[in-house]
Structure formats: C-alpha cells, structure tokens
A = this chain, B = another copy of it.
C-alpha cells in the first residue's frame, strides 16, 4: 500500500515562504498543500512548481483535522516539543499530514491540539534558536519520502525531469473553490483590513496589500 504526505499551513505570515515550500513539497512527492485560515499566498520561489501541487483550503483547524481523520492520516506537528521525536528516526506509521507553525512563534497551543505526534530536527550549533520554516519543512518531507519508499524521479543529466505543466488549478495564487468562496473571501478581507485579524501573530503589512501576489511567480 502506498503512503501519502500532505502539508498543512495555518495562517502563514510570510506569504513568500509558500513558494519555496511548494517547490520542496513537489520535489518530495507531497500530494496536497492545505491552507487553513488565510488562503492568499505568493508563489515567488516556487519556480512554477505550485502548478504541480493540489491545493485545498479549510476555514478552521477543526475542519482540516476532520478531513484528515476521515482519510486516516496522522497529523504530525513540526515543532520542538518536549515529546517530539528526532525526524531522522522516522517515527512514521502511515500517510501523514505535516502541520507547520507560523514562522515567528512556532505551533500555537491550538495547533498542537490537532496533532497526533511531533517531530523535530536536531541542532548542534549555538548560532540560531530554530531553522527557517521552509528549511525545516523540507528536511521533514525528505525524511518522510525516504521512509515511505517513494519512487525516485527519473533524471536528465544533473536535473530531475519536470512533468508537463498541468492546467493551472490555482487561480491568481489564491486558493479558491467556488464563486461563493471568492465573494466570501472579499468580505473577509474587508473585515480583516478593519480588525487586523491575520496580523495577530506578526506585525507586518503582508495581508493588507494582496495585489503583488497576483503577478509574481518566481
């Protein structure tokens, strides 16, 4: 039986991180990238790879967990918690969705609640308290691919062969499903602009100006 991996991102603060994350995710055979809460992102850094990934959106962590449990996925938090296992020990059992924390603060208590277990990446030097979130995610996804025995992609010279670009599922770097969602999203954005909801974890202005996300695809 084949295993699958998903990535779950909750209210990511620095949207440009999603691009590089998408690039690593597709490299390591991730099937879906699930955005919870805010759904706008910037695909800069993805080098077009975000077109090769399925995206899904949930409004709440609870909804995301329900979906994953119906699919019999484990939910693995990537966080340095007391009982977290070193990721290189491959503490995996079945298809797994990896929950990544906000870049600044890591996983919140609420986020930790929906996790079945945690992995962390051992560090050896004293120069930094934590890794860049995309770097951490990439190391974890790499290890899951090794554990799951994913088939290696064929190569051409010193590059892996890129699949044909599928029809772009993600419209305007904005993870939407229906027209209703778009209307709802616009309403939410107006409300968010008023109360700064998405900025609760980080005091930047990335959520206030979304136009740049529409045109960038590094």
Chain A interface residues toward B at CB < 8 A: 20, 22-30, 45, 47-49, 51-53, 79-81, 88, 106-107, 121-132, 134-135, 138-139, 142-143, 145-146, 150-153, 155, 157-163
What copy number does this chain have within its complex? 2
**In the complex the two chains form, is A123's CB within 8 Å of B153's CB?**
yes
Residues of B with C-beta under 8 A to A106: 158-159
Chain B residues within 8 Å of A162, by CB: 126-129
Residues of B within 8 A of A142 (CB): 88, 121-122, 139
Contacts of A52 in B (CB 8 A): 125-128
Q: How far, in whole Å, are A115 and B16 apart by their CA atoms in the complex?
A: 34
Q: Please, which residues of chain B bring their CB within 8 A of the CB of A47?
A: 128
The answer to whether B28 and A163 touch across the interface, beta carbons within 8 angstroms, is no
> Among B27, B79, B125, B132, which residue has its beta carbon within 8 angstroms of that of A123?
B27
Q: Is B81's CB under 8 angstroms from A132's CB?
A: no
A170 to chain B, nearest CB (A): 13
A79, B155: Cα distance in complex, Å? 12
Beyond the given pairs A51-B127, A122-B145, A124-B153, 8 more chain A to chain B contacts, judged by CB atoms under 8 angstroms and listed by A's residue number, are: A47-B128, A80-B155, A122-B152, A123-B152, A125-B153, A135-B135, A139-B139, A139-B142
- A24, A47, A159 — most chain B CB neighbours (10 Å): A24
A132 touches B26 (CB 8 A): no
Complex formed: what's the CA distance from A145 to B121 in Å? 11
Among A27, A106, A155, chain B packs the most CB atoms within 10 A around the CB of A27
Q: Which 7 A-B pairs have the closest CB atoms?
A: A26-B127, A52-B127, A126-B163, A29-B124, A124-B150, A49-B127, A129-B159
